[in-house]
Structure 1
Amino acid sequence: MNTMRVNIINPKAARLLKDLADMKLIEIQDIPSNGFRDVLQKLRSKASSAPTLEEITSEVELVRAKRYA
């Protein structure tokens, strides 16, 4: 069995895929939403501004220094 990810551009293609599933030729599985992405969007919506590249870099360096100290 091969697994593929398909981006549907035309709604007619979705209908064709559903017809193929009805004929038991393919199986369609819903992909659950990305929980991590949802959390990020929630956090970003509450933030007044995004951190700069320098702020991110300094935070990463701090964590690395603590980890490898």
Structure 2
Amino acid sequence: MNTIRVDILNPKAARLLKDLADLNLIAIQDIPKNGFETILKKLRAKTKSVPSLDEITKEVELVRTRRYAK
């Protein structure tokens, strides 16, 4: 079995592909969306404010200090 990716430019081509799938000549599979991107969008939607670069830097430095203090 060969697998190829096809970008459909014309809706008529999509109908042709669906007809081929109905005849069991080809199988059409949807490409799943990136799970990480979906989770990131959900997290961003829930936050009230985005941390500034200074706040991120302070948090990173705090974690590094704790980690290397051991």
Paired with 1:29 and 1:8, the residues of 2 have a C-alpha distance of: 14
- C-alpha deviation, 1:48, in angstroms: 6.3
Q: Report the equivalent of 2:19.
A: 19
Identity %: 72
Any unmatched runs of 5+ in structure 1? none
CA spacing shift, 1:12–1:49, aligned 2, 3 Å: farther
Q: Report the equivalent of 1:28.
A: 28
Regions of 4+ moved over 6 Å:
48-53
Q: Calculate the TM-score normalised by the size of structure 1.
A: 0.57
- C-alpha deviation, 1:45, in angstroms: 3.2
CA spacing shift, 1:47–1:16, aligned 2, 3 Å: same
Q: Size of the alignment, in residue pairs?
A: 69
Work out which of the two has the higher radius of gyration on C-alpha atoms and give 1 or 2.
2
Any unmatched runs of 5+ in structure 2? none
